[in-house]
C-alpha cells in the first residue's frame, strides 16, 4: 500500500526549497492527495504553460469525433492564411501540428528563443494578436517535409488552437470551455481565471517577481491557467476514460503515434515513454510547461492507474521531481 500523502508532501517540501510556491497532486489506487508548500495553497491558480498543448490536442480529437474536422485535414482549409505552409507540395495538417511534425519553427518569425526568459523582459507574446501572427506566416516555411520528423513548435500548437477555434465558431477560450473544461467540470482552468485574486505571482529562475504571460493568438501553445485540483480531475478522465464524457476523444488522442526513438513517442499532445526495465518498465504519458514565472508537469501511467501534477510559481523545472514521483507511485502499486 503506497503512502500517497507522505510521498506527495515530501515532493512538495523538496520543491519548495528555492521556489516561491508549489502544489503537488497525485493519484494512486483510486485516491488523490494534494499538498501545497511555500506561499501557495491547493486552490492557487498557476500559469500552465505548455501543459495547455494537451488540452488543445484533446480539443482537436473532440472536433474529429464530432465530424467537424479530420486529423489529416490541411491547416489551410481552416486558416487560408496558412496556404503557404507546405514543402515539396505537401501541406501542413492538423495531426502534424498536434504531434510537432509539421516542420514549422519553434516560434513565429521574428521571435528569438533566448529573449523569452530574459530577466525583466515583459510578456514576449503580448504583441501576437491574430492579424500579427497570421501576417508572420507570409515569411514562414516548414524546415522539413511535413510529417517527416519531430520538431517541437509553439507556433504550430498555437496555430492549431486558433484554427480549431475558428472552425468551432468561437475563440480559444470558448473552444476549451465548450469541448474540455465544461464537460469535465474544470471550473478553474481557463485563459482568464474566474477569480484573478487566486492567481499566483510568478517568479523567474532567480526568484524575482515577473509579469505574467498572455500568449494572445498563440494561447493554444501555452495560454491556459489552472489549479492542481482541476488537473487531478483531468488526470482521472485520462485514467478512467470510459467514465468520462470525453471517452471517444481521449481514446483518439492516444491512438496516433509518431516514434522519436525505440523508447519514446508522441501521441496527440502527450509525450510517451516506456522506462527501461531496470527502472520498472513503466509506461508514462506526460507533458511539461514553462512561462516566464511558472513551471509545470503533468504525467500518468495508464497501466498502473497513477498520475501526478506539479505546479510551481517559480520558473525552475519540476520535471525530474514529477517524473520521479510518478515512477515511485507506479512501482508501489505494481
pLDDT profile of the chain (334 residues), mean per 10: 92 96 97 98 98 98 98 98 96 98 94 67 85 95 97 98 98 98 98 96 95 96 98 98 97 96 96 92 97 97 98 98 98 87
- What is the rounded distance in angstroms from the CA atom of residue 98 to the CA atom of residue 185? 24
Nearest to 58 by CA among 192, 157, 150, 141: 157
Nearest to 152 by CA among 55, 290, 291, 269: 269
- What is the rounded distance in angstroms from the CA atom of residue 184 to the CA atom of residue 91? 34
pLDDT at position 274 is 95
- What is the rounded distance in angstroms from the CA atom of residue 224 to the CA atom of residue 212? 12
224-269 per-position pLDDT tens digit:
999 999 999 999 999 999 999 999 999 999 999 999 999 999 999 9
Sorted by where each starts, the structural domains of the chain and their CATH numbers stand as 4-333 (3.40.710.10)
pLDDT at position 118 is 65
pLDDT at position 122 is 72
Bridge-partner residues for 274, per DSSP? 283
pLDDT at position 103 is 98
Place of cell 512561462: 291
pLDDT at position 2 is 79
pLDDT at position 117 is 66
3-state secondary structure at position 219? helix
Place of cell 483531468: 234
pLDDT at position 110 is 83
271-291 per-position pLDDT tens digit:
999 999 888 899 999 999 999
Amino acid at each position: 500500500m503506497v503512502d500517497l500523502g507522505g510521498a506527495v508532501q515530501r515532493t512538495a517540501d523538496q520543491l519548495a526549497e528555492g521556489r516561491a510556491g508549489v502544489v503537488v497532486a497525485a493519484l494512486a489506487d483510486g485516491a488523490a492527495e494534494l499538498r501545497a508548500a511555500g506561499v501557495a495553497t491547493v486552490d492557487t491558480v498557476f500559469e500552465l504553460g505548455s501543459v495547455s498543448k494537451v488540452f488543445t490536442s484533446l480539443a482537436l480529437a473532440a472536433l474529429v469525433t464530432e465530424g467537424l474536422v479530420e486529423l489529416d485535414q490541411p491547416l489551410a482549409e481552416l486558416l487560408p492564411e496558412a496556404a503557404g505552409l507546405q514543402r515539396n507540395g505537401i501541406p501542413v495538417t492538423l495531426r502534424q501540428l498536434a504531434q510537432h511534425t509539421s516542420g514549422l519553427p519553434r516560434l513565429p518569425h521574428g521571435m528569438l528563443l533566448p529573449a523569452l526568459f530574459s530577466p525583466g523582459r515583459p510578456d514576449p507574446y503580448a504583441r501576437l494578436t491574430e492579424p500579427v501572427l497570421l501576417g508572420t506566416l507570409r515569411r514562414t516555411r516548414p524546415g522539413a517535409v511535413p510529417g517527416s520528423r519531430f520538431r517541437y513548435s509553439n507556433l504550430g500548437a498555437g496555430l492549431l488552437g486558433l484554427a480549431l477555434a475558428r472552425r468551432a465558431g468561437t475563440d480559444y477560450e470558448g473552444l476549451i470551455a465548450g469541448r474540455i473544461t465544461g464537460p469535465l467540470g474544470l471550473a478553474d482552468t481557463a485563459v482568464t481565471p474566474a477569480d484573478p485574486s487566486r492567481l499566483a505571482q510568478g517568479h523567474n529562475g532567480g526568484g524575482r517577481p515577473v509579469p505574467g504571460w498572455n500568449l494572445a493568438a498563440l494561447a493554444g501553445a501555452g495560454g491556459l491557467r489552472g489549479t492542481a485540483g482541476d488537473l487531478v480531475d483531468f488526470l482521472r478522465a485520462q485514467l478512467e476514460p470510459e467514465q468520462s464524457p470525453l471517452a471517444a476523444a481521449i481514446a483518439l488522442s492516444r491512438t496516433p503515434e509518431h516514434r522519436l526513438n525505440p523508447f519514446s513517442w508522441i501521441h496527440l499532445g502527450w509525450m510517451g515513454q516506456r522506462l527501461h526495465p531496470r527502472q520498472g518498465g513503466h509506461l508514462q504519458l506526460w507533458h511539461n510547461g514553462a512561462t516566464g514565472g511558472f513551471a509545470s508537469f503533468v504525467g500518468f501511467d495508464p497501466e498502473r492507474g497513477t498520475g501526478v501534477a506539479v505546479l510551481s510559481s517559480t520558473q525552475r523545472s519540476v520535471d525530474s521531481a514529477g517524473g520521479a514521483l510518478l515512477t515511485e507511485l507506479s512501482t508501489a502499486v505494481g
